[in-house]
Chain A
């Protein structure tokens, strides 16, 4: 996959030096931003997984996959609320559900024909009747989402889409802060998520997708970003 990406840049040199130079940054430069709707079909050919592709559409599809997962989770949470869900929890979790659906639908509309198909979640390991389990998974999803957007932001070449990703990631961070405070008051920004520079942590596509895939029946791959399940 890396070979074809480098060829698209017009640089036939496939040496390690060249790879370093183009790693991440150059890999997306060749794809026109407005080619979003003209990109390839997403065959599930990487060990049966759907591949996000390359260029800005890949990063948007990556976000779309994560938002699909989050939206499906909160829809399930509110379809079968855990026992003792308080009024404020009901209100805020309903809001979060609707935010994630808005994110999901935005990416689907932006990607048009280039969008990944609807993914089928697998939440069989989550006990939706347990407040601790539901909020624990929510916390993991929200922190993962923040780290994923922060880690992939630099791959976006179109400034409009970079700005929109920024608009979304801060809302995910607001979710993460709230869920953490609901679960353990005061942990909104504890050391496990925020480092000694007062900064959130970023994660690469290859780090995030394996986690996401544990909650998906049909897997998502990113051959151009060093991840095939």
Chain B
């Protein structure tokens, strides 16, 4: 179901419908081009109100499920950065601005999704999470290098999580576009964290993009994160083997083929990965 089909269905049932809702039609037109026509601050509200309030129809279950899942992950990410920014002597002063910006985006995602979903229950407390993942990363909030490594895995996983939900939102212009716009910000975060590690923190082979080998897509050097990078070393896209295509000199290299495409994770894969952190 999508917005435009819905209008058609309603019109079939009620030929007078178009006239009845003429004030609403302006809202619909604006939604189709909300990037320029609706104030940014009004966007989450518009998302939630569009179908529910204007048409007394529930939002498609698949849309709600995908956004609820995204909110669960954003709660966790926002709490992760809030906790780290509050930890004494963790983050280098010169890099605090950058980490602060990332944390702010995650909090904005929380607000956006809560508003879009019309969630009124309290957000989980930051202390409800175990950022050590049951002791796997005991120094995550005391050692900056460990913190950055975990942050990198979390951001890369966030990118993969949103990507895995695209199919659930197909044909949903408003919801899919909103999810895509958050998805690419998570990728900017992941690249920024990776760049910090490469630049200042001894990760001499880390790149802003996920690289890997034929046997593993995990380029973090942390075996506990293998699941977060499972399948990232895929070279086949839409049935096409990228390494068989022509590159600048010879065929496209294996490394370029896997770096050029980020891979999705399913909801179940991601939920399994974040369970040790207390995300449920």
Which residues in B have some Cβ–Cβ distance to A below 8 Å?
2-4, 7-8, 18, 25, 28-29, 32-33, 35, 40-41, 43-44, 97-98, 101-102, 104-109, 111-112, 159, 162-163, 166-167, 170-173, 176-178, 180-192, 195, 198, 207-209, 237-238, 240, 242, 245-248, 252-253, 255-257, 259-264
Q: Which of B18, B97, B106, B111 contacts A186 (CB 8 A)?
A: B97
Residue pair B237, A105 in contact (C-beta under 8 Å): no
Residue pair B263, A167 in contact (C-beta under 8 Å): yes
How many angstroms from the CA of A58 to the CA of B163 in the assembled complex?
A: 22
Shortest CB-to-CB span from A141 to chain B, Å, is 15
Determine the interface band of chain A, counting residues with CB < 8 A from chain B.
35 or more
- Residue A131 CB within 8 A of the other chain: no
Shortest CB-to-CB span from A205 to chain B, Å, is 13
Q: Which of A47-55, A114-122, A192-200 contacts B (4 or more CB under 8 A)?
A: A192-200
Which residues in A have some Cβ–Cβ distance to B below 8 Å?
17, 20-26, 75, 88, 92, 95, 97-103, 105-106, 109-110, 146, 149-151, 153-154, 156-157, 159-164, 166-178, 181, 185-186, 188-190, 194-204
Residue pair A103, B260 in contact (C-beta under 8 Å): yes
How many angstroms from the CA of A95 to the CA of B211 in the assembled complex?
A: 11
Residue pair B101, A95 in contact (C-beta under 8 Å): no
Residue pair B261, A168 in contact (C-beta under 8 Å): yes
Known: A164-B237, A174-B208, A177-B191. 17 other contacts (CB 8 A): A20-B32, A25-B2, A95-B209, A101-B256, A150-B181, A154-B172, A157-B170, A160-B238, A163-B167, A166-B183, A167-B163, A170-B262, A174-B209, A177-B195, A186-B97, A200-B182, A202-B181
Shortest CB-to-CB span from A140 to chain B, Å, is 16
CB-CB < 8 A to B109: which residues of A? Answer: 197-199
Q: Whose C-beta in chain B lies nearest to the C-beta of A18?
A: B8
> Contacts A170-B187, A181-B195 given: A154-B207 contact, CB under 8 Å?
no
CB-CB < 8 A to B245: which residues of A? Answer: 102, 105-106, 109
How many angstroms from the CA of A190 to the CA of B170 in the assembled complex?
A: 29
Residue pair B237, A169 in contact (C-beta under 8 Å): no
> Contacts A150-B177, A166-B163, A173-B191 given: A20-B106 contact, CB under 8 Å?
no
